[in-house]
Chain A
C-alpha cells in the first residue's frame, strides 16, 4: 500500500513543481467558457439558459488536457517499466493515476466552476446543483480518461486520438450531470423536482462506481499491452 501512496505523492509533487499543468487546465476552462457569450450574443436570458451546459461541457474538454502526459511521461523515461516490475499491481497503479488526475484536474475545475458560472450569468439557484453534479461527474471523467491515456500510450498524435476515443464516453456523464442541474429549477412541483434531481445524481454516482470497478482492470490491461509492444 505504501507504493500506492508513494506514486500519488510523487505525481502530485511533480504536478505541483511543474506548476503549469493545474493552472493551464483552469485557464483553458475559463478561456474556452468565455468564448460562448461572444458567439451566442449579449442577451442575458440566452446566456443564462445555456450557462450551466457550457460549464459542464467545457469542464469535460478541460479534463482531457493533461491526460496525454498521465502515462506517456512515465512510459518515455522508463519509469513505467519499473512500476510494472514493482510489487504494486498495475490495477492499483491505474487507480492511483486516476486519483492523481482527479486531484490535479477535477478538483481545480470544481473550484473554478462557480467563477465561470458567474461570468456566464448562470441563475444563482443552479450553482449548488451544478457543483454537486460536477463533483460526481469529474471522477468519472478521470477514470475514463486514465483508460484512454493508457490505450494511446506510444501512439503518434496520442493527444488527438485520446480525445476522439474518450469524448464519446463522456457523453453519458454529461447527460446525467446536465439532467441533474436541469431539474434544479424546473417548473414542476417541488416534490418532482427533488426526485428528478436526486435520481440523476444517483445515476452519476452509479456511473462512478461502475467505472471504479471496471476501468482499473481495463487500464492495467492496456498498460501491459503497451509495455509488451
Chain B
C-alpha cells in the first residue's frame, strides 16, 4: 500500500501566495479531485506534488518519506499531464509518442490504442484538433505504468467517447493500486476524495481548504 500525503502546504508563485493550508492523504487505489475556481492554486499544487515546484511551507510525502529527499525515485513513479499538451507540432502522432517512449520506455502501440489514435498515427500533430492533441497527451499515461498520476484538467476538449476511454484508463490505474490527483472543473463521475481550494485572501490569513 502506497500513500501520498501533504500537510499544511503553502504554495507561492512569483512571490505571491496562491494557496495555503492544504492537507490531504491519498492511498493506493484512490483518486483525489482538486476543485476550486480559476487561480485557486490547483495547477501549482500539482506542480508541487510533481516536485517541479518547491512548496513555500509544509511537506509532501510518499509513504511517509519527503519527496524532496528522494527526488529521482519520485520522478520515476510519476505520470504527469499538465495543462499544456507537450505535443510537438512538427512530429507525427506516433513520433511524439515514440519520443516519450524513448525517454522513459513504454509501448507506443498500446498507447496509440488507448485513445484510438492508431488511425492518426502518421498525421503531423500540427493538424490535430484540440481534442485530438489532448488525447495524444493523455495517451502518454498508457505508455507505461506509474504509481502516481498528476493530471491537470485531463478532460478539457475531449468528446464523450474519449472521456470514456480516459475514465476506463483511470479506473484501470486505480484498480491496479495506482493513485491519481486530478484538477478538474467537471464531474468525472468517479468515486473520489475531494479537496476544494480557495484563492487565499490578500491580507487575512484564510483558514485554508477543507479536505
Contact = CB atoms under 8 A, between A and B. Distances in A.
Contacts of B140: 82
B86 A17 contact: no
B127 interface: no
Contacts of B70: none
A6 B103 contact: yes
Given A3-B104, A87-B104, A10 B99 contact: yes
A79 B100 CA distance: 10
Given A13-B91, A81-B50, A87-B72, 7 more contacts: A13-B95, A14-B90, A77-B86, A81-B84, A82-B140, A83-B103, A229-B14
A78 B50 CA distance: 14
A81 B53 contact: no
Nearest to A89: B72
A21 to B, nearest CB: 11
Q: What is the interface residue range for chain B against chain A? A: 20 to 34
Contact of B91 (A14, A85, A86, A88): A14
A14 B102 contact: no
A133 to B, nearest CB: 34
A81 B90 contact: no
Contacts of A13: 90-91, 95
A81 B102 CA distance: 16
Contact of B86 (A5, A81, A87): A81
B85 A77 contact: yes
A124 interface: no
A10 B52 CA distance: 23
Contacts of B86: 77-79, 81-82
Interface of A: 2-3, 5-7, 9-10, 13-14, 17-18, 76-79, 81-88, 227-229
Contacts of B54: 228
B78 interface: yes
Nearest to A18: B90
Contacts of A82: 80, 86, 100, 103, 140
B124 to A, nearest CB: 9
A10 B53 contact: no
A227 B85 contact: no
A88 B103 contact: yes
Contact of B52 (A6, A17, A227): A227
A228 B52 CA distance: 6
24 contacts: A3-B104, A5-B102, A9-B99, A9-B102, A10-B91, A13-B90, A17-B90, A17-B91, A77-B85, A77-B86, A77-B87, A78-B82, A78-B84, A78-B85, A81-B80, A81-B84, A82-B86, A85-B50, A85-B78, A87-B75, A87-B76, A88-B103, A227-B52, A228-B53
